[in-house]
Amino acid sequence: MDYPMSSATRVFPPLIFGVGNQGDHHMEQLTKRVEQLEKNTQKIQMDVAVLTARSEHFATKADIESVKNELRAEQGAMRFEIMGELGQLENRIDEKFERMEEKLEAKFEKIDLKFERLNDRLTWSIMVPAVAAILIWFVKDIVLKI
């Protein structure tokens, strides 16, 4: 933006521009600085407009609180669901262990039965003849003294 300059002689304070023809030089510098400031101001205005447009999509405190409450509710529901699933899983595991225990119990019963049979065989095949032989020896050597 160009501002019309009047042709009247201007008097500037000596602290700023000095005296004489130096004032015109300083005025030109000031005009350039003002032009530069106007350009910068336009850039700043554009940046503020862009930031304002972007800020429409920013989350407010209320938005964040709402999302936080939704997440807490969802977390509670998920916790409840997980606890239910864990309870069902625990029941299934207990059932499997019970079935395993029943199977192991049946196998141990079979093993016990086999040991009983083995014990019976050992008793009748080794122990009875050994006891009979000892009795025969005892009777022959001690009682009959033959």
Q: How far apart are CA 17 and CA 9, in angstroms?
A: 14
* 21 band by pLDDT with thresholds 50, 70 and 90: low
125, amino acid identity:
S
Does residue 25 lie in a domain region? yes
What's the pTM?
A: 0.41
Q: How far apart are CA 39 and CA 14, in angstroms?
A: 29
Does residue 104 lie in a domain region? no
Instruction: Give the pLDDT confidence of 24-51 residue by residue, as tens digits.
Output: 788 889 999 999 999 999 999 999 999 9
Does residue 63 lie in a domain region? no
Residue span of the structural domain in which 25 resides: 11-58
Q: Report helix, strand or coil for 6.
A: coil
Residue 46: Cβ within 10 Å count: 10
For residue 44, what pLDDT is reported? 95
Does residue 19 lie in a domain region? yes
Look at the chain and report how many structural domains it folds into: 1
Instruction: Give the pLDDT confidence of 47-103 residue by residue, as tens digits.
Output: 999 999 988 888 889 999 999 999 999 999 999 999 999 999 999 999 999 999 999
CA 50 to the chain's CA centroid:
37
Does residue 4 lie in a domain region? no
